[in-house]
């Protein structure tokens, strides 16, 4: 699918940027983009501005509500929708991709790359690219990259979307015109989308009756026909009736097919809304898809290795291992190794990198808000009402977390009991904790040295 976006830099005339969209592999993302492309702010891209530009990296837009990277919404319920897939890569200049604030948080913001950015693969959904075969689009992209930026990567001049839409092929336009003509001529008394077949046939019968009445009136007022002429008229009338009946039957079948296709389309729309209408529904749907994929793979492996499964039917674990593919087996081994490496150190071991990272994750887990919002790109907006409210909420979360940690430390202090006859190998509590951490990791390697020191046999 091809689309276009008209951009105006400053007070200059709009220039058209042609886009190739991946409508087959990313239909939901493309539908969201093309729908917003034809709407006007604050409900669409038209009259919105690009709020962020980083030379040799990318240009970002699509925030038609706030204009600073903190707003915008999708056409779906819940304002955001999940990541459709990561089939395409940020492998070239001019890649069109969705901006987000984390996993499954796609709204309306998008960005266009100025170079290859493969580190964004698996994090942002690529749903199109700039048509680099078009000279005007290529020159416009070069011109955008040369614009100067101020604080917060904000462009020094306004880059405004003045128009946009989908470029449809001639065949698609003709098909749409034909469908529209059929819909305008169809009678729809019961439902806006359904065709009343009986009424359409009755209208044709009324036309036939009127013609017969006119023939009867003409026969009564004109001269009498001969028997040969009467027989010829009867044959012509019968042939006309048979053709009329065939046309009516074809029309009836055509309208029945149109009604059936509309009903099926309605069912699919409702089912898709139930599947993907909310985050919870989307999560359930993705879980069901994974389960079906797993079942399909197991059935496929069963067909290939059915004899091995039957031969070891009393040992399910052995049968599963025998039917496991090579890639899946390697993945399971690597997953176990990663888990063992993570469990090697305690989160409280601050002096090793793994322990530091895990301790940091545990520390900020309860402070983070539910939905992460990117920082304000404009420093002046921090003093706005939205920024003050956000600051108050963050302060309340931080205060509650500090209170919780103080209570936890107090309980730990009450549980720690020191015996009078215990050996003292530390000078203060901080040194004691450090010695305990050292002991947890190195005591098992220094047992022999300590024994030799105690016996006095050390070299």
Distance CA(398)–CA(235), nearest Å, equals 95
- For 62, 223, 408, 414, 431, the CA distances from 411, given in Å and listed in that order, are 50, 119, 5, 5, 21
In the 8-state DSSP scheme, what is residue 25? T
- DSSP string of 347-376? TT-TTSHHHHHHHHHHHHHTTS-SS--PPP
Distance CA(442)–CA(60), nearest Å, equals 51
- The question of whether 264 is a catalytic residue gets the answer no
Residue from 53, 59, 49 nearest 8 by CA: 49
- The question of whether 124 is a catalytic residue gets the answer yes
Of 73, 88, 124, 282, which one is the catalytic site residue? 124
Of 31, 104, 120, 324, which one is the catalytic site residue? 120
Of 33, 50, 64, 111, which one is the catalytic site residue? 111
Of 36, 88, 100, 106, which one is the catalytic site residue? 100
Is the preceding omega at residue 310 within 30 degrees of 0, hence cis?
Answer: no
* Phi, psi dihedral angles at 225 (to 5 degrees): -90, 155
| The two three-digit tokens of residue 360, written as one number | 């940091």
Q: CB-based contacts of 166: which residues, under 8 Å, 6+ apart? A: 1, 2, 3, 34, 37, 38
Q: Where are the alpha helices (DSSP H) in 74-168?
A: 135-145
- The question of whether 57 is a catalytic residue gets the answer yes
- The question of whether 114 is a catalytic residue gets the answer no
Of 32, 60, 109, 376, which one is the catalytic site residue? 60
- The question of whether 270 is a catalytic residue gets the answer no
Residue with tokens 């089912």: 271
| The two three-digit tokens of residue 301, written as one number | 């492996």
Distance CA(435)–CA(86), nearest Å, equals 48
Distance CA(429)–CA(31), nearest Å, equals 62
Of 52, 88, 93, 129, which one is the catalytic site residue? 52
Known catalytic residues?
A: 52, 57, 60, 100, 111, 120, 124
């Amino acid at each position: 699918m091809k689309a276009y976006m008209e951009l105006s830099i400053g007070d200059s005339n709009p220039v058209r940027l042609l886009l190739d969209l991946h409508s087959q592999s990313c239909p939901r993302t493309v539908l969201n983009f093309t729908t917003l492309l034809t709407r006007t702010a604050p409900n669409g891209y038209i009259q919105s501005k690009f709020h962020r530009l980083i030379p040799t990296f990318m240009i970002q837009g699509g925030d038609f509500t706030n204009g600073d990277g903190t707003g915008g919404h999708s056409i779906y319920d819940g304002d955001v929708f999940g990541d459709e897939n990561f089939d395409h890569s940020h492998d070239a200049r001019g890649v069109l991709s969705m901006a987000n604030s984390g996993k499954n948080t796609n709204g309306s913001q998008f960005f266009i790359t100025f170079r290859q950015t493969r580190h964004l693969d698996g994090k942002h959904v690529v749903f199109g690219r700039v048509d680099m075969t078009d000279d005007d689009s290529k020159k416009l992209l070069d011109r955008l990259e040369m614009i100067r930026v101020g604080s917060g990567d904000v462009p020094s001049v306004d880059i405004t979307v003045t128009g946009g839409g989908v470029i449809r092929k001639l065949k698609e336009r003709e098909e749409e015109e034909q469908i529209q003509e059929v819909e305008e001529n169809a009678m729809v008394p019961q439902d806006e989308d359904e065709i009343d077949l009986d009424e359409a046939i009755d209208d044709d019968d009324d036309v036939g009756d009127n013609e017969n009445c006119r023939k009867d009136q003409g026969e009564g007022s004109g001269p009498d026909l001969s028997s040969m002429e009467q027989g010829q008229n009867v044959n012509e009338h019968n042939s006309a009736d048979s053709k009329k009946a065939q046309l009516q039957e074809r029309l009836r079948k055509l309208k029945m097919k149109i009604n059936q296709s509309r009903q099926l389309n309605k069912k699919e729309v409702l089912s898709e809304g139930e599947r993907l209408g909310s985050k919870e529904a989307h999560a359930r749907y993705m879980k069901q898809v994974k389960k079906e994929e797993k079942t399909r793979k197991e059935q496929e492996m069963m067909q290939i290795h059915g004899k091995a499964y039957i031969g070891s039917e009393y040992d399910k674990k052995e049968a599963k291992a025998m039917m496991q593919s090579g890639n899946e087996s390697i993945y399971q081994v690597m997953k176990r190794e990663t888990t063992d490496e993570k469990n090697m150190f305690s989160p409280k071991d601050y002096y090793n990198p793994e322990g530091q990272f895990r301790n940091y994750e545990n520390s900020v887990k309860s402070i983070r808000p539910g939905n992460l919002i990117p920082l304000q790109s404009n420093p002046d907006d921090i003093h706005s009402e939205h920024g003050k409210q956000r600051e108050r909420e963050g302060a309340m979360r931080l205060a509650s977390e500090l209170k919780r940690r103080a209570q936890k430390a107090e309980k730990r202090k009450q549980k720690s009991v020191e015996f009078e006859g215990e050996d003292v190998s530390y000078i203060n509590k901080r040194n004691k904790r450090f010695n305990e951490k050292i002991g947890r990791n190195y005591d098992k390697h220094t047992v022999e040295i300590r024994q030799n020191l105690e016996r006095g046999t050390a070299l």
